[in-house]
């Protein structure tokens, strides 16, 4: 497939065009085609699970979701080098967002690396291009145009795998990683960020909260959910050959086909004010309404909004409690997955089950929490 030189404005609206940068970069035709095809609306986390099983990792994040989240973290980016390491700069909205907002955020450097597989079956766009690394250091001549000489492009030696030595070297030189990483490699991805002590803002699925690689970071206040997505589903572009076996699917007004995925969340270690807001509690505790588990020394709180304001012990809450979690208000005790709870909270008849039980009936997986002492005074 040939390549063409595209001149394009970052955004279509006239207001945006005025302040947005003009992109003058090489886009592969293949990339352009990919953006205008392939997609469906999937309505639950099964979609991501299916993707994981099929090793289909090509979900393209929409600009609106990036903008809605990034607006909460402006102060964190000043003077920073941002890395988007699962992002083909020729199509990533992350890369385009940071180019367009480079000066506004006061960035030092922007780096994007992309993954290119030779295997067409594994990755839909396996077009045998080598992986590339693009570096942008701002609008040097103030013309608000992304000139050729302002963007550094080099081929990577390998295929751009975020775990490769050369990509880890780039990671080490970066301050904040912002991307939507491959769902099938989410555990390894998080582990690597933690290992190299990087700041990050990445997209994942809410169920990943209880992974054994993730929950300890949450418990240690080294990772939390982001500011903008707490419910509903989100749209992602997908390639043309993506299997259309979803419960519902759609094509947008531009003819672009999309998958809609529930359970999407931002995972971050960048602080923002809203996560320190108190969750208002209004219900009084009663043993009838909040029964104790058979196998945990804790009460069942089926809905976070119903949490009692006057119960001092441990409570089991849905994992979506993490959308409301304020570390000054609550202490995280553990989680029912992977046995991630200290033995002192397991009752003598705990057996080998991790799932909470009430009167012999299995409940959903739970996060165990306790109100901090100051609370309710
Ligand atoms: C969920 S998509 C998101 C793409 C882009 N970050 C975005 O948000 O639009 C994940 C991307 O990671 C890439 N990828 C898959 N395996 C990878 C790996 N081992 N290292 C780096 N990137 C990988 C895929 O090709 C895919 O484009």
Q: Is 182 in the pocket of ligand 1 (CB under 6 A)?
A: yes
CA of 316 to the centre of ligand 1 (A): 35
Pairing of strands 299-300, 315-317: parallel
pLDDT at residue number 43 = 42
Q: What is the DSSP letter of 166?
A: H
Q: List per-block mean pLDDT (blocks of 10 residues) for the chain, which spans 377 residues.
A: 30 40 47 27 50 66 97 98 94 94 97 72 48 93 85 92 97 98 96 98 96 96 97 87 64 79 96 97 97 96 97 97 97 90 84 86 95 70
pLDDT at residue number 196 = 98
CA of 86 to the centre of ligand 1 (A): 4
Burial degree of 77 (CB within 10 A; 0-12, 13-18, 19+): buried
Please name the residues in contact with 314: beta carbons below 8 A apart, sequence gap of 6 or more: 296, 297, 298, 299, 333, 345, 368, 369, 370
Evaluate whether 209 touches 218 at the Cβ level (below 8 Å). yes
Evaluate whether 275 touches 224 at the Cβ level (below 8 Å). yes
Q: Is 129 in the pocket of ligand 1 (CB under 6 A)?
A: no
CA of 127 to the centre of ligand 1 (A): 15
Residue of minimum CA distance from atom 19 in ligand 1 = 161
Bridge partner list, 330: 371
Residues in the chain: 377
Residue of minimum CA distance from atom 15 in ligand 1 = 182
pLDDT at residue number 116 = 77
Q: Is 162 in the pocket of ligand 1 (CB under 6 A)?
A: yes
Q: Is 264 in the pocket of ligand 1 (CB under 6 A)?
A: no
Evaluate whether 161 touches 167 at the Cβ level (below 8 Å). yes
CA of 299 to the centre of ligand 1 (A): 41
pLDDT at residue number 47 = 58
CA of 181 to the centre of ligand 1 (A): 5
Mutation to probe ligand 1, out of 115, 162, 236 (largest number of atoms < 8 A from CB): 115
Mutation to probe ligand 1, out of 57, 118, 237 (largest number of atoms < 8 A from CB): 57
Q: Is 86 in the pocket of ligand 1 (CB under 6 A)?
A: yes
pLDDT at residue number 369 = 98
């Amino acid at each position: 497939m040939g390549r063409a030189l595209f001149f394009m404005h970052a955004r279509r609206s006239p207001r945006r065009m005025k302040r947005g940068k003009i992109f003058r970069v090489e886009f592969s035709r293949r990339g352009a085609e990919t953006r205008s095809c392939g997609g469906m609306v999937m309505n639950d986390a099964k979609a991501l699970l299916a993707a994981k099983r099929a090793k289909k990792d090509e979900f393209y994040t929409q600009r609106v979701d990036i903008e809605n989240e990034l607006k909460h973290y402006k102060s964190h980016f000043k003077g920073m080098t941002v890395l988007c390491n699962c992002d083909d700069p020729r199509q990533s909205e992350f890369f385009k967002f940071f180019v367009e907002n480079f000066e506004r955020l006061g960035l030092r450097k922007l780096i994007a690396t992309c993954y290119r597989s030779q295997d067409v079956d594994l990755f839909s766009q396996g077009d045998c291009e080598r992986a590339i690394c693009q570096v942008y250091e701002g609008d040097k001549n103030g013309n608000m145009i992304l000139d050729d000489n302002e963007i550094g492009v080099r081929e990577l030696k390998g295929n751009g795998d975020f775990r490769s030595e050369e990509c880890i070297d780039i990671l080490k030189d970066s301050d904040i990683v912002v991307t939507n990483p491959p769902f099938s490699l989410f555990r390894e991805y998080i582990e690597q960020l933690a290992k190299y002590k990087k700041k990050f803002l990445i997209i994942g699925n809410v169920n990943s909260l209880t992974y054994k690689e993730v929950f300890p970071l949450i418990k240690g206040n080294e990772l939390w959910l982001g500011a903008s997505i707490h419910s509903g589903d989100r749209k992602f572009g997908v390639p043309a050959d993506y299997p259309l076996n979803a419960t519902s699917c759609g094509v947008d007004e531009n003819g672009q086909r999309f998958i809609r995925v529930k359970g999407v969340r931002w995972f971050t270690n960048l602080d923002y004010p809203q996560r320190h807001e108190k969750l208002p509690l209004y219900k009084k505790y009663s043993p009838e309404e909040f029964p104790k588990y058979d196998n945990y020394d804790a009460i069942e709180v089926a809905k976070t909004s119903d949490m009692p304001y006057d119960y001092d012990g441990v409570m089991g809450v849905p994992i979506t409690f993490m959308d409301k979690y304020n570390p000054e208000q609550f202490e995280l005790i553990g989680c029912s997955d992977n046995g991630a709870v200290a033995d002192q909270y397991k009752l003598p008849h705990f057996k080998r089950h991790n799932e909470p039980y009430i009167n012999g009936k299995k409940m959903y997986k739970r996060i165990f929490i306790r109100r901090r002492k100051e609370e309710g005074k």
